[in-house]
Chains A and B, each alone.
Chain A
Amino acid sequence: MSKIPRSFRLLEELENGEKGFGPESCSYGLTDADDNTMTNWNGTILGPPHSNHENRIYSLAIECGPNYPDEPPKVKFISKINLPCVDQTSGEVVAKNFHTLRDWKRSYTMQTVLLDLRKDMATATNKKLPQPEEGSTF
């Protein structure tokens, strides 16, 4: 397999996101449709059921740097959330505390990150964590 360059990879991800492939529980798109460097993205995660996140919609900011997808994106929650892997002052997902970013593979996509974060919210210990008021932001 040859290495698909960053831009064509991001265009593929963009098209998959626009066509609505993948599960309904997560979505993402370009923050600025004019940004042809395709660096800044926004994502949403629908809180998993049977957890304190149920029916909440979380907004995130994703930054795909110049070395994406060789390097993982920077991911930051905009909506306030109480999760062990999220820095409680900045909302940033701390890579060393979140396996998907820590053990990043080139085949991972933004969707992988969002879905894995959603899974993380639903783990036995995390689903019961008290959550800040809905609608508050970092």
Chain B
Amino acid sequence: MGPTKIKQKRSTSTTNEYLDSITTPSKPDNSCLISPNGKAKDSTSLDNVGDAQVSDESEFEIEDLLSSSDEFVYDEDGIDDDAQVMLSHPIEEKEQKHQKEGNMPDLDYTVMTMQDIFENMLRRVDHLQPIFNIPREDILLLMQHYDWNEERLLENWTEKMDELLVEIGVTQDTGSTPHVSVATNETTPQGKTTESSKRGVKFRENFTCLICCEEKNTETFSLECGHEFCIDCYRHYIEDKLHSGNIITCMNCSLALKNYDIDNVMGHESSKKLMASSIKSFIQSHNKNYKWCPYADCGCIIHLRDTSTLAEYTRLHYSPFVKCNNDHRFCFSCGFEVHAPADCNVTNAWIKKARKESENLNWVVSHTKECPKCGANIEKDGGCNHMKCFGCKYEFCWICDGEWAPHGKDYYQCVMYNNEDNPKKSRDANLAKYMKKYTFYYRIFNEHELSAKLDWKLGQTIESKVRELQEQMDISWIEGQFLPDSIRILNESRTALKWSFPVSYYSDQSHNLTKIFVDNQSLLSKAVEDLSELLQIKDPIEIMRRKADFYNMSGFVENRKFALMECGRELLCRGICKPMD
């Protein structure tokens, strides 16, 4: 164990980068990947420290097999229930268990992907086929037209079947006339013969396309209407429309292109893009029940069937945290990362403020700083805030620049903003007092954010550490799991610590409970730093020797985290913490 390494290197990050990282949750929370047994709410028990042995992946496989079986349950309520039947995952059950621990109503949600939703739609099309007795492709168009609202479709279908088929472009409206043909005096498209009126792609010599007016040997496309245009124009036309999600019609009349037409013109599986766009707009229009996982490049969709429970969460200042199939945890209400003890109001106010102030402040938050004693440039490369200068060996706290010694003893004193004696040498000495206060909290928040990122990097190496233990110390994989567990607890606690600073920022500083909250922050800060230091140990023998310390320390951190979160919730429930601009 020892202080974080110090390098003579300089790198900077701006406030804006920081903003990006909180609005789109940053990687540190991915650390759950290492140990998928993350808890939805905190737990006071130590029981879970060693129980992540069973890889969730195996469970997923079984579940996936089940969900892809042909069994299909139709339900009058439509998609929501079907999805529920097919796509429940074990994660959900775990999550629910913990919600119950907190005496909260169940957060009954499922994790889906676009593919899941689309396959579900296809099953529904299969189901409707015997009722409608028209080709599946046509039903798909109907569903697309009705924004996948089956009930409305069925209602209108019985009333005005023929009209509907014209409306969606399956059959031609005999009454309407197509647009006047382009740029020539001909009023009928070229080559309207019985042969060319066949649907599909053809090859033609010296074909004049009425869209681009070029004459060339080219492939062409047309529907039954016979409006035949060159393949280049059609490709350009379809490409522009694939993102809209709407039905694509003939360039000259209202006849619809079906998915196989699109694939025919554009190449293999292009229609999937259109279907994806259509489903995206379906999700958009049902965004009370469906939320995209906000993590970059994650395609998971959380489906919450009953949103009435959310009100209860809000009332009790809990947040509806959910977890996707890739173990990304986020808040269903506001879409930000897990932000307890802050509730959504505090989170939103804080982020709004950060956004506003970053415009106003625009100071550079640096990864590097100078050693408070000798002035050497120092870069932090682990999450631990206990720093030791390579040059002069001075040990200090990264957050407040103060000497480390008092931090190690009772508790962290640098978490509380001190009005009289600002611990930071302010870069903007003439800023208003409130600005100083904000700057102080912002800085701590940001430091924990950075620490969390560094801890996450540390977590990336943990698997190899476990392997090292297995090889060198001859211990089993299961036995080595206390390491990834510790990392997970460290990450979750840092996130909680981070979000506790917006809570204290918005709290009445003079209230006794705020003081208790600050004490709790101090205790958790101290515990987190200790755990972080423990995780710096590289030597396998030393790690195994201190195995008990890992258990005790992470258990202690979990307890402290839970205490802090409950205390923060009380501040909110009692109105001592009130977010405002």
Which residues of A come within 8 Å of B, CB atoms? Answer: 23-25, 49-50, 54
Q: Which residues of B contact A24 (CB under 8 A)?
A: 359
- B360 interface residue per 8 A CB criterion: yes
Q: Which residues of B contact A54 (CB under 8 A)?
A: 360
- B119 interface residue per 8 A CB criterion: no
Which residues of B come within 8 Å of A, CB atoms? Answer: 359-362, 428
Flag if A25 contacts B359 (CB, 8 Å): yes
B241 → A minimal CB distance (Å): 23
Q: Whole-angstrom distance between the alpha carbons of A49 and B361 in the complex? A: 7
Q: Whole-angstrom distance between the alpha carbons of A58 and B19 in the complex? A: 28
Flag if A50 contacts B359 (CB, 8 Å): no
Q: State the total of A-B contacts with C-beta under 8 angstroms.
A: 12
Q: Whole-angstrom distance between the alpha carbons of A19 and B361 in the complex? A: 26
In chain A, what residue has the closest Cβ to B428? A50
9 A-B interface contacts by CB (under 8 A): A23-B359, A25-B359, A49-B359, A49-B362, A50-B360, A50-B361, A50-B362, A50-B428, A54-B360
Q: Whole-angstrom distance between the alpha carbons of A106 and B189 in the complex? A: 41
Q: Which residues of A contact B428 (CB under 8 A)?
A: 50
B352 → A minimal CB distance (Å): 12
Q: Whole-angstrom distance between the alpha carbons of A23 and B360 in the complex? A: 13
Q: Which residues of A contact B361 (CB under 8 A)?
A: 49-50
Q: Whole-angstrom distance between the alpha carbons of A25 and B360 in the complex? A: 10
Q: Whole-angstrom distance between the alpha carbons of A25 and B428 in the complex? A: 22
Residue with the highest number of chain B CB atoms closer than 10 Å, among A25, A49, A54: A49
Q: Whole-angstrom distance between the alpha carbons of A24 and B359 in the complex? A: 10
Q: Which residues of B contact A23 (CB under 8 A)?
A: 359
Q: Whole-angstrom distance between the alpha carbons of A54 and B361 in the complex? A: 11
Q: Which residues of A contact B359 (CB under 8 A)?
A: 23-25, 49
Q: Whole-angstrom distance between the alpha carbons of A50 and B426 in the complex? A: 14
In chain B, what residue has the closest Cβ to A25? B359
B408 → A minimal CB distance (Å): 37
In chain A, what residue has the closest Cβ to B361? A49
Q: Which residues of A contact B360 (CB under 8 A)?
A: 49-50, 54
In chain A, what residue has the closest Cβ to B359? A25
Q: Whole-angstrom distance between the alpha carbons of A61 and B362 in the complex? A: 28
Q: Whole-angstrom distance between the alpha carbons of A4 and B361 in the complex? A: 38
Q: Whole-angstrom distance between the alpha carbons of A24 and B360 in the complex? A: 12
In chain B, what residue has the closest Cβ to A122? B362
B292 → A minimal CB distance (Å): 23
B155 → A minimal CB distance (Å): 37
Beyond A50-B362, A50-B428, 5 extra complex contacts between A and B, CB < 8 Å: A25-B359, A49-B359, A49-B361, A49-B362, A50-B361
Q: Which residues of A contact B362 (CB under 8 A)?
A: 49-50
In chain A, what residue has the closest Cβ to B357? A49
In chain B, what residue has the closest Cβ to A55? B360
Q: Which 7 A-B pairs have CB atoms at the shortest separation, nearest pair first?
A: A49-B360, A49-B361, A50-B428, A25-B359, A49-B362, A49-B359, A24-B359
Q: Which residues of B contact A25 (CB under 8 A)?
A: 359
